Amino acid sequence: MGLCELCGKRESIVKISVEGSQLDVCNDCSRFGKIVARPLKAPQLDQRRIAHPKKEDTEDIVPGFGPIIKSARERLGLKQAELAKRISEKESLLHSIESQHFKPPMELAKKLEKALQIKLISKVEDKEEEESKKKEAGAVTIGDLIRIKMKK
């Protein structure tokens, strides 16, 4: 099952040639061009053998990154211009990061970690896992309060 590039239907797809361009279209739209290839039957997957993707922790910049960067830079006795030159970035960018007007991308955060010998990146768990941990801990959510109120 695929999506027809002409009409948008979801059904089996045929590859056609229309004025030199190849399109994936449904059987109805195949009349508008010359059929180049018929669809191959997709192998049926055994649902039991499909591994569910492992929930991965994602990385994020720690909250309060600006003062952390500034204090580490000052601890090393560096000015913003010197640090910016060391990590090959603009001084204005470093100023914006220290004042927390700009959140550094991961690549830049890694450069700053290395140059300042600090930890700026932390792993963040999936929200679903966090919610399940809260429920296990006995925390009451707004949804729980609504359900309690509805029962009364």
CATH number of the domain encompassing residue 87? 1.10.260.40
pLDDT tens string for the chain (152 positions)?
A: 678 888 888 888 889 988 888 888 888 888 888 888 876 555 555 555 555 555 556 889 999 999 999 999 999 999 999 999 999 999 999 999 999 999 999 999 999 999 999 999 998 765 566 566 655 666 777 877 787 777 76
63 and 120 in a single domain? The answer is yes
Is-contact 58 127, C-beta < 8 A?
A: no
62 and 104 in a single domain? The answer is yes
Distances (CA, A) of 17 to 22, 23, 35, 36: 4, 6, 6, 6
User: What pTM, to 2 d.p., does this model score?
Assistant: 0.48
Residue 143 lies in a domain: no
Q: What is the pLDDT of residues 111-129, one digit of tens each?
A: 999 999 999 999 876 556 6
Q: What domain range includes position 17?
A: 2-37
25 and 67 in a single domain? The answer is no
19 and 73 in a single domain? The answer is no
Residue 100 lies in a domain: yes
72 and 32 in a single domain? The answer is no
Radius of gyration of the chain measured on its C-alpha atoms: 27
